[in-house]
Amino acid sequence: MINKQDKKLFDLINKELTRQQDGLEMIASENYVSENVLRVMGSILTNKYSEGYPGKRYYGGNKYIDEIENLAKNYAKKLFGVTHINVQPYSGSPANQAVYFALCKPGDKIMGMNLLYGGHLTHGWKVNFSGKHYESIQYTTDKNGFLDYDSIENLVKKEKPKLIFVGTTAYSRIIDFERLAKIAHDSNAFLVADIAHIAGLVVAGIHPSPVGYTDVITTTTHKTLRGPRGAMIMCNGEQLNPTRKIDSVIGWRESKQNIPTLIDRAVFPGLQGGPHNHTTAGIAQALFEADTDEFKKYAKQIVKNAQKLSQELSNNGLKIITGGTDNHLILIDVTTFNITGSQAEKSLELAGITVNKNAIPFDTRSPFDPSGIRIGTPALTTRGMKELEMTQIAQLIVKALKNHNDEKILKNIKSEVKKICKKFPIYKKVKY
């Protein structure tokens, strides 16, 4: 237990534990790690400095750290079916930055999905490093919120970017990696898949894998993969002799065979120092857990829950972007209830339901107070909830949004939420 001399910290952590236990965590990018991952993350591994890679460290005493990192990499290779893995990126954004650093030079033209249409900051958004250090071209969805592959193809032919990022943070449909690969490679562009949101669905076979189609794959490990807050970069190819000099800005065809080496050099020493060894071990534990039939059933249930929840919300008058979902998340236009995304987020939080405000395609409102909210089912599914609970939760969400100005009703909904949560406890053995 945490030393109670620091009572403020002790109390705050326990308050957050209670909040998570008593509320519905429905932010699509959040999940609960297992108790074993929690234990590993709090282990003595955090004490060790390990700059470099297994067998090539700049510090001594890394015999067991090397074995742990290799274990994580081998688990990932098996799960994803790739030949090269880097598990050292501190999180998803640094992983994406490393890909740019490896394959592009400042000023190169890149392309990614517009943030306001479901993309990510690091895919070329104007206020992010990716939009400031590179010439960024952004693609969007069609008017119904679906990826428009014909439009993307025309844009690629016109702009001829050096690198294309595909991946989303608020898109509820299957991504056609095969079609995107043809579009990119016909124009001699690198194609990078950011599967941070769907990695757990990919390893379970619920969503098509980008392996074999994209040149590089990045992912966080803390969303549907149910691991700690870290990231991985994956690719196929043979790693070259580390002493061989390689120009990271040479041509597309020449670079492809060198991608593993370019990626590793970009992560270290290009962008990072010592890896977070406790996180690496947490990733290994999560990957071990993901390689089970139980996890595959869990991933299938995530999608079943999302589809049931989407159906129930739609039946109760909410507008679902694209009309439904193929994965773990749902993007909702809440203005049909005469409420904004920001108001919806706040009222639902008062009701014990945590979501996030989110722009919808062709949103006419500000990103700080958009027209929609984004919700997801990974954390609810981890607790053991199924379709019956999704029906109950949909009714509570609708009731909260319709009565967003009535604190008494929101308080009553919070009591109902707490009753549901007590049936599906988390971290029964965890105390601080």
Q: What is the pLDDT of residues 371-387, one digit of tens each?
A: 999 999 999 999 999 99
Q: Which residues pair with 137 in a beta bridge?
A: 111
Quote the distance between the C-alpha of residue 226 and its chain's center: 10
**What is the helix, strand, coil percentage profile of the chain, to 5?**
45, 15, 40
Residues of the chain with CATH 3.90.1150.10: 18-29+301-423
Q: Mean pLDDT across the stretch 214-232? A: 97
Q: How far apart are CA 163 and CA 252, in angstroms?
A: 9
Is it the case that residue 240 has pLDDT exceeding 90? no
This prediction's pTM = 0.93
Instruction: Tell whether the torsion through CA atoms of 101, 41, 282 and 123 is positive or negative.
Output: negative
Q: Which residues of 190-202 are buried (b: 16+ CB within 10 A; e: fewer)?
A: bbbbbbbbbbbbb
pLDDT for residue 7: 86
Q: Do residues 136 and 126 touch, judged by C-beta distance below 8 A?
A: yes
Is it the case that residue 359 has pLDDT exceeding 80? yes
Task: Tell me which residues are annotated as active site.
Answer: 49, 51, 194, 220, 223, 229
Which residues lie closer than 8 Å to 332 by C-beta, 6 or more apart? 313, 318, 319, 320, 321, 372, 373, 374, 375
End-to-end distance of the chain based on CA atoms, in angstroms? 5
Q: Specify the amino acid at residue 296.
A: K
Instruction: Tell whether the torsion through CA atoms of 96, 382, 31 and 402 is positive or negative.
Output: positive
- CATH: 3.40.640.10, 3.10.580.10, 3.40.50.720, 3.30.360.10. Which one for 48-290? 3.40.640.10
Q: Which residues of 74-96 are buried (b: 16+ CB within 10 A; e: fewer)?
A: ebbeebbebebbbbbbbbbbbbb
13-30: pLDDT as tens digits: 999 999 999 999 999 999
pLDDT for residue 258: 85
- CATH no., domain 18-29+301-423: 3.90.1150.10
Is it the case that residue 256 has pLDDT exceeding 70? no
